[in-house]
Chain A
Amino acid sequence: MADGGFVREVAHRIFAAEFRESNLQAREGQDQYSPQYLLTPTGAKVNRVFIVGTLTEKEDVGTDAEFWRGRIVDPTGAFFVTAGQYQPEAAQVLARTTPPEFVAVIGKPNTYTTKEGNMLTSIRAESIQVVDAATRDAWVLDTAKHTTARLEKLKGSEPDAVKAKEHYSTNMDTYRAMVAAALESMRAR
């Protein structure tokens, strides 16, 4: 009916260590409006992510308008999150939050290639909210679950799994260890 042919993209749960390694971009379909995806080493085809972690640093790197960059840490590493003039709400939240603080971010994956040819990944925030420790723990569990499920699928022959294996030669043991370490880190506390 009212929503036409538009289907909202699912927000994937990805650990920082996996997100950092992602560098395969693909566009589905030909025209300029078809969504762009980032394929991760465990075969998640991502156009939107949902992450929860600890905001440890933030900085306004904008020249004219505000442009905020934040570093958000999960048990496996750090995400870079940006919010500029086109994400005013997210930028405001980032501006008024004092690290360290638990935050949840929903946003789009972004990649940037440095002069040296390295690809850096970041998240362009659609929204950022301060959350509690329970939400952060729930996210780690949730992400562990989804990552494990993707690793299982990686053994199969679904197109995304095959493409991910081909491009990254994913070492499944490394990612299993990453998930286990993330879970253990919560138990230790």
Chain B
Amino acid sequence: MSDIATKIEARFSEMGVKVKPSEIETRLDQLINKFKVPPEEARRNVINYFLKQHNIPKSEFFAMQRDSPQVKISEIREDGKWVALRGKVIQLWETNHESVSQVGLLGDETGTIKFTKWTKAGLPQVEEGKSYQFKNVITSEWQGQFSVKLNRTSEIVGIEEDIEVGSTPVEFRGAVVDVQNGSGLIKRCPECNRALVKGACGEHGKVEGIYDLRVKAVMDDGEKVQDILLNREITESMIGITLEEAKEMATEALDQAVVLDLIKSKLVGRYFVVSGAKLDRFILIETIRQDVRSVDEEIKKLLDAPLAMEA
């Protein structure tokens, strides 16, 4: 108990406020021993009491308390950690709830991460393409995806430097088990580059689309699933036809699905090694090659040491 009291006293003196240790202890003692309040609750109560006494706003007290460590985006691997980030706002997305003032994607040299800025936080608006120092933001995890939340105790400071957004490439080995709809020959909105659905853009309505080739696929190594995206360049070299040839094919067959069929026949059910930048649940493929292994060597490995599994 005196331990708690010492900490409270130290914390207040940091803020330039003198409180008597004996007074803290008396209050704690009364709450904990006489009124059977759990120590953590008692600590809170005592702190609030002195804050009121000295007219210190709560946010100031708690914000100062957390001088969160500066981290890189790729280092964020834990839920509920207070951290500081230097990053560029890559994209702002539409907010779908009034409690969220801004939501989008932040990037630094090591990767990208989603951020959410609560309306209640009362923080200044950030702009796409600008870099900022974010202080005291909290990490959060949902289904293996990390994001950071900006709340009342967070701070945003604009910085001059233009942060180069990079990424740590990841590799994945496995079989392609699905090529999804929206792959193959598609049309994009000339305004916003979004893929058109039935000739219409979600934002700009009916537009004259621009043709593109891409693949959205799923890979699987028997343990976990990985979504991958192939852009036009990679798709062309993988399938062995150009965008122009794909257009011709589709025109000839009067059906865009022939291109999709071709893609499926080259990818589905086959083993690949891919690498690229991780974005959200996807890997944006930079390299893809068929996973060729020396069968004899592998068999030897498995038969000689059938129980020692390779990683």
Contact = CB atoms under 8 A, between A and B. Distances in A.
A-B interaction? yes
Interface of A: 1, 3, 5, 7-13, 48, 50, 52, 89, 103-106, 126-131, 134-135, 137-139, 141-142, 144-146, 148-149, 152, 176, 179-180, 183-184, 186-187
Interface string B45-78: 0000000000000000000000000000000000
Interface of B: 114, 143, 145, 175, 177-178, 218, 220, 222-225, 264-265, 268-271, 280-281, 290-293, 295-296, 298-299, 302-303, 306-307, 309-310
Contacts of B268: 104, 106, 127, 129
Contacts, number: 99
Contacts of B220: 10-11, 50
Nearest to B145: A1
Contacts of B143: 5, 7
Nearest to B114: A1
30 contacts: A7-B225, A10-B220, A10-B223, A10-B224, A50-B269, A104-B175, A127-B178, A127-B268, A127-B269, A129-B264, A129-B269, A130-B265, A134-B290, A135-B269, A135-B271, A138-B271, A141-B298, A142-B271, A145-B309, A148-B302, A148-B307, A148-B309, A149-B309, A152-B307, A179-B302, A179-B306, A183-B299, A183-B303, A186-B299, A187-B299
Contacts of B309: 145, 148-149, 152
A141 B265 contact: no
Contact of B178 (A13, A126, A179, A183): A126
Pick the most buried of B143, B224, B280, B310: most chain A CB atoms within 10 A of its CB.
B143
B222 A13 contact: yes
A128 B261 CA distance: 12
A184 to B, nearest CB: 8
Contacts of B280: 1
A186 B223 CA distance: 24
Contacts of B264: 89, 127, 129
Contacts of B265: 129-130
A104 B296 contact: no
Nearest to B224: A10
Contacts of A138: 271, 291, 293
Contact of A148 (B222, B293, B306): B306
Nearest to B179: A127
B302 A145 contact: yes
A137 B295 contact: yes
Most buried by A among B223, B269, B293: B269
A3 B143 CA distance: 10
Q: 4 closest pairs, A vs B, by CB?
A: A104-B269, A129-B269, A129-B268, A138-B271
Contacts of B290: 134
B270 A135 contact: yes
Nearest to B219: A11
A146 B143 CA distance: 25
A124 to B, nearest CB: 15
Contacts of A134: 290, 292
Given A104-B269, A138-B293, A142-B271, A10 B225 contact: yes
A9 B178 CA distance: 12
B281 A50 contact: no
B143, B218, B223, B295: residue with the most chain A Cβ atoms closer than 10 Å: B295
A176 B280 CA distance: 40
B225 A8 contact: yes
Contact of B269 (A131, A137, A144): A131
A131 B270 contact: yes
A106 B178 contact: yes
Nearest to B257: A89
Contacts of A142: 175, 222, 271
A144 B295 CA distance: 12
Given A106-B178, A129-B265, A130-B265, A176 B306 contact: yes
A130 B265 CA distance: 7
